[in-house]
Structure 1
Amino acid sequence: MQRHDKFMGADTKNIPQSWGRYPVVEPDQVIPIYWRDELPDFTSLRQSILPYAYGRSYGDSCLNEGGIIFDVSKLNRFISFDEQEGLLCCEAGVSFAQVLDLVVPRGWFLPVTPGTKFVSVGGAIANDIHGKNHHKVGTFGCHVTRFELLRSNGDRLLCSPTENRDLFQATIGGLGLTGLILWAEFRLKPIANPYIDMDSIRFDSLDEFFEISQESDADYEYTVAWVDLLVGGEKLCRGKFLRGNNNRSPELARKPLKKRFPLVVPLNLPSFALNTMTVKAFNEAYYHVQVPKRVHKTISYDPFFYPLDSIHDWYRLYGKRGFLQYQFLVPFDNAHEAMRDILRRIVRSGEGSFLTVLKKYGDIPSPGMLSFPRPGLNLALDFSYRGRKTLALLDDLDRMVLEAGGSVYPAKDAHMSAESFQTFFPQWKEFEQFIDPKFSSSFWRRVVPQPVSLETDSGPLPVPGL
């Protein structure tokens, strides 16, 4: 895949990038979408198309090298809100931050949220995002009731569990390849106030994580663990297990939320800034800042769900070369042993992950055809990009995940091979028939190699990046 040095580490907004800043590729054209009734003429577009909003995918699933990007971030209006039923309808470019500003004061919350609120509703559907409550409520797609999908032939299709059902299932988790989502409707979660009752529990081994997780699954809606992998030894890791529930006190609804003033990382740090020693130092401090084994407190939703949103542009901590996030799951049947082997391999590599998150997924099926979450144990890590050394490590991890019967998350991937993807997601062939003939991405061309041209109603469409 081509890298353009002149864009290395660039922050200019007119060059769509992923959050990891790897790979850096250049689209041929960026077309902003402002109105649902003023849309581009597809017949005049010769390159492939991909929707893009805020670039919070980590790899190349949101990139389209040499093609056209539809920037939908301005397609950001609310359409309707049923405050009695908690049913919200909005355009696809509305961010979760905008949704929260609207609904939280009215006693509602997002049914599912990832670790950042700066994602679009369309992106949440396209990646079928999940969060700390997957074991209780499944993915975001489980709460989507309908959406309008624009196809390149001009069809505007209403998709729901009962109408255009196949396209509904293909679009949820479909990586933006089935067409352009114009608006979506989804159900919210009622809350008494915007606060979370949280337990923070220190654990000293992988076995202890499993014990705490097991005891927490039934009674806590939100569970996740921060993990330090650099301790080594037979215990393999240590960390903090966070679990919580929405606070139910009506009185707290009147307590104003404290405003968080975000920090800003103004410049790319030197590439050597995040290394094994500095990550070890951070992990040591973060682990020991909590002295008691267990701490219970009530905090607002913002620091509980979105701790890293308080550091704007934190990707710059990894320097100009960027980083690769590696997120995978292994099924419960062999999760203990497989996770131990994978952790040992990561520790041997000497690659320190600044942010490592461990969580169990539940058994609520997603409506999405290509959705990533399924029952199992999930680990997400960030690796500074150090060239072949980093890619070789990911090759080994892919092999181990494959052997364990697991899979890797496409929205966080910038590396996996076509063979790996097609093994992780054998349903890709069924999905492929629903791809819009004018839509493509750098990710899809990498994991499902394409012919030299794509056929459309108007003739052959050149495929960029080949």
Structure 2
Amino acid sequence: MNRVESWGRLYAPPHLLVPLPDLEDALRRIQSTTGPALPYGNGRSYGDSCLNADGTLWQTRALDRLISFNEEFGQLTCEAGVLLADIQRLFIPRGWMLPVTPGTQLITVGGAIANDVHGKNHHRSGSFCDHVKQIDLARTTDDVLHCSQTQNTDWFAATSGGMGLTGVILTATLQLKRTHGPWLTTESIPYYSLNDFFSLADESEDDWEHTVSWIDCSSRDSIRGIFMRGNASPRRDCPPGNTEQVSFPITPPVSLVNRISLPLFNSLYFHRQASNAGKRVEHYQPFFYPLDRIKHWNRAYGRRGFYQYQSVIPNEHRKEATEQMLREIKQSGQGSMLAVLKTFGARQSPGLMSFPMEGVTLALDFPNRAQETLKLFSRLDAVVKDTGGRLYPAKDARMPRDLFEKGFPNLQEFMKYRDPGISSSLSRRLTGS
């Protein structure tokens, strides 16, 4: 047994690790496993959706081969362990890129599908699985299922955002989009109220593909933040980008994100970004993946790890609910350097358990302060529940079951597609199996 932790580093339970070295051997190993098992990609989920305490993890990272690419139509078929970073690196110079990516490119294709990840362009392009053409799904009880939006459509919907619980994704066919190169025309704008944020978000949807904001959740005086938006640039030169990483060298005994450092960092960051506001042309990597340059940045939260709390609130409650959540966070004396506020568009998600829905989403990291942090989350949960919102399972490590059930009304339909040989720490916590 090997101890495995998720990106939040809250705990590291023991697991039996079973590598899947190639497609030929994968199905045999999957179907010969006894006891509860779970597919595991690059371990970038923050909570326990990628953990299976005291059970088996099927390691999929070795399934990292590109199978075929249609240069005319931009369709890529690859194995599930391929990293999004490798797709971007290889295909942007050829004039194609992923239509949707989250805040890190260091996740696998299988993980992106299992969590139906979203990016900064939901209002324009939806979520990751909107651009998946086909999935080959290995079940512990069946042969491989070929699932798409036209074949085994019910299995496709269950697997998109299905948290790895419907089977093991072996391969996928992705629809890439045309690009001139790795450059974006971007603009950053300081804002000083939630009214300002929502005005910027609403007015940007028609003319800007990517929109997101950093918000200062520790400011005592007023709500302030930096709104960022971007479009593909016509610039065509294609340098490789900055692939050098700096590494956070140690895990400190206590979190470096605390009541002293948090307001200082946030104030310095806001004023620096505000002084440099305006339009520029920049490489896609720092705009889409600002933290990927810092290897092991999660160590900064200390030995006790950290939680990420990401909610989405329907538009009819977006302003008052966001104000209330920020007020609770400020009054608690806790907060995040990495607070992200952005909107989701009016698009139907492809998966039964997909997280995005029309509204506003707030994502924050919180150092683990045990009961102090959990009590704050209970107050935030009440806001989410009362307004008909939901929490993101890929980021979650402690969501109450009743909030999960209310936030995901398709849960009972999804349960019909559960693979009986697959379980996770999250599924046992939230569904009992």
TM-score exceeds 0.5:
yes
Query: Contact 1:326 / 1:381 at 8 angstroms: preserved in 2?
Result: yes
- SS of 1:309 mapped into structure 2: coil
Q: Residues 419-458 of structure 1: CA distance to partner in whole angstroms, max 9, x if unpaired?
A: 11111112111000100010010000001123xxxxxxxx
Q: Is 2:163 the counterpart of 1:175?
A: yes
Alignment correspondent of 1:122? 110
Q: Distance in 2 between matches of 1:353 and 1:422?
A: 27
Alignment correspondent of 2:249? 266
Shift of 1:42: 4.7
Q: Distance in 2 between matches of 1:325 and 1:297?
A: 31
For these two proteins, the number of residue pairs brought into alignment is: 432
Choose the corresponding residue for 1:81, options 60, 69, 72: 69
Alignment correspondent of 2:21? 34
Query: Contact 1:111 / 1:143 at 8 angstroms: preserved in 2?
Result: yes
Query: Contact 2:335 / 2:364 at 8 angstroms: preserved in 1?
Result: no
Q: Alpha carbon RMSD of aligned pairs, Å?
A: 1.4
Q: Is 2:269 the counterpart of 1:281?
A: no
* Larger CA deviation: 208-217 vs 41-50: 41-50
Alignment correspondent of 1:215? 203
Q: Residues 367-418 of structure 1: CA distance to partner in whole angstroms, max 9, x if unpaired?
A: 1010000000000000000111111111111111000110000000001111
Q: Is 2:56 the counterpart of 1:68?
A: yes
User: Which stretches in structure 1 are left out of the alignment for 5+ residues?
Assistant: 1-6, 8-13, 451-466
* Larger CA deviation: 202-211 vs 140-149: 202-211
Alignment correspondent of 1:418? 401
- SS of 1:290 mapped into structure 2: helix
Q: Residues 103-148 of structure 1: CA distance to partner in whole angstroms, max 9, x if unpaired?
A: 1110111110000000000000000000000010100010100011
Kindly provide the amino acid, as one letter, of the partner of residue 321 in structure 1: R
Alignment correspondent of 2:231? 245
Q: Distance in 1 between matches of 2:4 and 2:20?
A: 14
Query: Contact 2:182 / 2:238 at 8 angstroms: preserved in 1?
Result: no
Change (3 A) 1:285 1:48: same
- SS of 1:225 mapped into structure 2: strand
Query: Contact 2:167 / 2:419 at 8 angstroms: preserved in 1?
Result: yes
Query: Contact 1:31 / 1:71 at 8 angstroms: preserved in 2?
Result: yes
Q: Distance in 2 between matches of 1:158 and 1:255?
A: 36
Q: Distance in 2 between matches of 1:41 and 1:260?
A: 35
Q: Is 2:386 the counterpart of 1:403?
A: yes
Query: Contact 1:23 / 1:60 at 8 angstroms: preserved in 2?
Result: no
Query: Contact 1:418 / 1:449 at 8 angstroms: preserved in 2?
Result: no
Choose the corresponding residue for 1:229, options 217, 233, 250: 217
Change (3 A) 1:41 1:406: same
Within-5 A mapping of 1:37-48: 37-39=24-26, 40-42=28-30, 44-48=32-36
* Larger CA deviation: 312-321 vs 154-163: 154-163
Q: Distance in 1 between matches of 2:33 and 2:69?
A: 35
Q: Quick one: percent identity of the two aligned structures?
A: 44
Alignment correspondent of 2:325? 342
Query: Contact 1:201 / 1:293 at 8 angstroms: preserved in 2?
Result: no
Query: Contact 1:58 / 1:414 at 8 angstroms: preserved in 2?
Result: yes
Shift of 1:210: 1.3
Choose the corresponding residue for 2:281, options 279, 298, 311: 298
Q: Distance in 2 between matches of 1:253 and 1:42?
A: 45
Shift of 1:45: 2.6
Q: Distance in 2 between matches of 1:43 and 1:259?
A: 42
User: Which stretches in structure 2 are left out of the alignment for 5+ residues?
Assistant: none
* Larger CA deviation: 207-216 vs 15-24: 15-24
Q: Is 2:55 the counterpart of 1:55?
A: no
Q: Distance in 2 between matches of 1:314 and 1:239?
A: 22
Q: Residues 30-61 of structure 1: CA distance to partner in whole angstroms, max 9, x if unpaired?
A: 00001111124455432101000111110000
Choose the corresponding residue for 1:134, options 122, 147, 151: 122
Change (3 A) 1:272 1:308: closer
Q: Distance in 2 between matches of 1:388 and 1:291?
A: 36
Alignment correspondent of 2:355? 372
Change (3 A) 1:390 1:272: same
Query: Contact 1:42 / 1:153 at 8 angstroms: preserved in 2?
Result: no
